[in-house]
């Protein structure tokens, strides 16, 4: 049997197929769970309780309450579709 015939009987997926399946699985995982659970795995346990989850919208709304940021916050919100 030559190598072409053996290649057709190869039981393992090719690298391109494997990589495509891996990327799809990773995309689905992050779409369902988000990035935070993944990143929290790298944070030492003693610091995890110090981390709070806050959205960009909450940050920009808080910044809007301070008059000294009026020169840029509205432009920022408009640029990133937050307004």
CA distance 63 to 74: 10
pLDDT at 71 over 80: yes
pLDDT value of residue 41: 85
pTM of the complete model beyond 0.85? no
Q: Is 27 exposed, middle or buried (0-12, 13-18, 19+ CB in 10 A)?
A: exposed
10-62 pLDDT per residue, tens:
777 788 888 999 899 988 887 887 777 778 889 899 988 888 877 788 888 88
Q: What is the rounded CA–CA span in Å between residue 83 and residue 73?
A: 10
Rounded Cα gap, residues 52 and 74, in angstroms:
25
Question: C-alpha distances in angstroms, 67 versus 42, 54, 63, 64?
Answer: 37, 22, 8, 7
> What is the structure's pLDDT at 5?
84
């Amino acid at each position: 049997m030559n190598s072409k015939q053996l290649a057709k009987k190869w039981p393992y997926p090719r690298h391109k197929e494997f990589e495509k399946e891996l990327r799809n699985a990773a995309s689905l995982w992050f779409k369902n769970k988000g990035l935070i659970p993944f990143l929290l795995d790298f944070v030492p346990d003693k610091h995890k309780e110090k981390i709070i989850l806050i959205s960009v919208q909450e940050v920009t709304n808080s910044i809007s309450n301070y008059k000294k940021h009026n020169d840029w916050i509205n432009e920022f919100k408009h640029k990133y579709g937050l307004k």
